[in-house]
Amino acid sequence: MGLAQRGSGRRTARPLRKTSPARPLPTLSGSPTPASTSGISDLDSGGHTDRLLQVIMDPEGLQLLLPSPTLAALANSWLQEDCPGLNFAALVTGSAPAQAALWAKSPGVLAGRPFFDAIFTQLSCQVSWFLPEGSKLVPVVKVAEVRGPAHHLLLGERVALNTLARCSGIASVAATAVEVARSTGWNGHVAGTRKTTPGFRLVEKYGLLVGGAAGHRYDLGGLIMVKDNHVVAAGSVDKAVRRARQAADFALKVEVECSSLKEALQAAEAGADLVLLDNFKPEELHPTAAALKAKFPSVAVEASGGVTLGNLPQFCGTHIDVISLGMLTQAAPALDFSLKLFAEGDTPVPYARRS
């Protein structure tokens, strides 16, 4: 669902389709609405495919992307990492039925409900959500309640909170990046990168989508990215791209990292679908992209390297189709959530009760 979509094996690529302007992030009053899903190309209106895409790319529909067996396997591995042996704290709590309230204590975008659910499903607990995926959080707010055996609630607590906090943090930064880019009038793709945490990529890529950004390629098999080291190993840009083009056949797109207009033109001539202008300053980026597009109008241009939320507007331009930011996954701060047990019949509060 990101940039690494399957394409043709032709020497020149179709340009990336422009996106519609983003909807503003909702505020949490009454029934919250999902956050923006900008960064996803629109199809022709009125068709079944268009309606289906809208459902899938809505934050509530994104859970359809996550296979249940994969969620279960991830949840099980996370729980085993946290408790590979004896759980002595279970003797403190016992196994009596209990309930806990999930509180959001910092602002941002709610993301990661499917992972939170999967963790507690492994522990025979039930989660009741009060806010939909993609909601804008205004603290302090009760997000959900979890019910199950006391020792199971506490066994899943930290793992579930860590996952939700990390995923929501990435969605929050992604949503901000999309909003910043759209404020300039630019309608290209704001995207993440492959700079993800080992073993946690699915959560982080999913968080990007909830925030309205594109995930880019999920792994090495999603798109052939020819980088500077590939060029050195192959001997030249032309040789590297032609080998990639042969390997890609009709099923994959080929993107080439370039550090100059000369390399970009060579890559496009050799058959690249996308050209990545890496570590260009904005004043160099735009004329280079314009010159490339003038000769190869169907080749898509991605800008990356040194892009932050602060300077993002400077990279937005007519000839730029994609702007990728590694900081969306590498530098996103986690949101603050807590899970607090409460007695049946009591009013849940976002802090521990002590008599």
Q: What is the pTM of this model?
A: 0.84
Beta strands 300-304 and 322-324, pairing class: parallel
Q: Are 108 and 337 in contact (CB under 8 A)?
A: no
Q: Are 271 and 301 in contact (CB under 8 A)?
A: no
Catalytic one among 18, 105, 136, 195? 195
User: Active-site residue 195, yes or no?
Assistant: yes
Residues 6+ apart with CB under 8 A from 300: 13, 15, 16, 273, 274, 275, 321, 322
pLDDT one digit per residue (tens) for the chain, 355 residues: 445 443 443 343 333 333 333 333 332 223 333 343 333 333 333 444 444 444 446 888 899 999 999 999 999 999 999 999 999 999 999 999 999 999 999 999 999 999 999 999 999 999 999 999 999 999 999 999 999 999 999 999 999 999 999 999 999 999 999 999 999 999 999 999 999 999 999 999 999 999 999 999 999 999 999 999 999 999 999 999 999 999 999 999 999 999 999 999 999 999 999 999 999 999 999 999 999 999 999 999 999 999 999 999 999 999 999 999 999 999 999 999 999 999 988 878 887 655 4
